[in-house]
Amino acid sequence: MIKEDYVSFETAKLLKEKGFDEPCYMAYVPTNIKHTMRNDAGHSNSMHPDDYYAVPTLQMAMKWLRKIYGIDIVIEISDPSVKDRKYYCIIWDGNNNSHILDLFNSNEEACEAAIKYCLENLI
């Protein structure tokens, strides 16, 4: 079974700080000593207290960056002929400048890194 890939807790916090307010089916909620992810049935950040964070999928976060900020993230394979592939990101910001991040062990790791880079450096 293929499962959805969600942004990390750190990235969910950054997204909330940058204005992400789309409905998500998951949220990071405070527990005794840390935040844990739970199903939260479509609530957005504005519907949660300050210490709750809506958790989008990687794809949803990338689409939000594209729609709101004109930032496109492209994931490429460094060498498709090898079994142990590595991935890198090309980020096109709203001014058509490119930013390259490399190398990652999986497509999902590359997506997470690119989203976080955009939130910390481009917005």
Question: For the chain (length 123 residues), average pLDDT per consecutive 10?
Answer: 88 95 86 61 78 91 96 90 88 91 93 97 93
Q: Which of 39, 41, 46 is closest to 20 using CA atoms?
A: 46
Query: Is residue 103 reached through a cis peptide bond, with omega within 30 degrees of 0 on the bond before it?
Result: yes
Whole-prediction pTM value?
Answer: 0.87
Look at residue 110 in the predicted model and tell me its pLDDT: 96
Dmax of the chain from CA atoms? 48
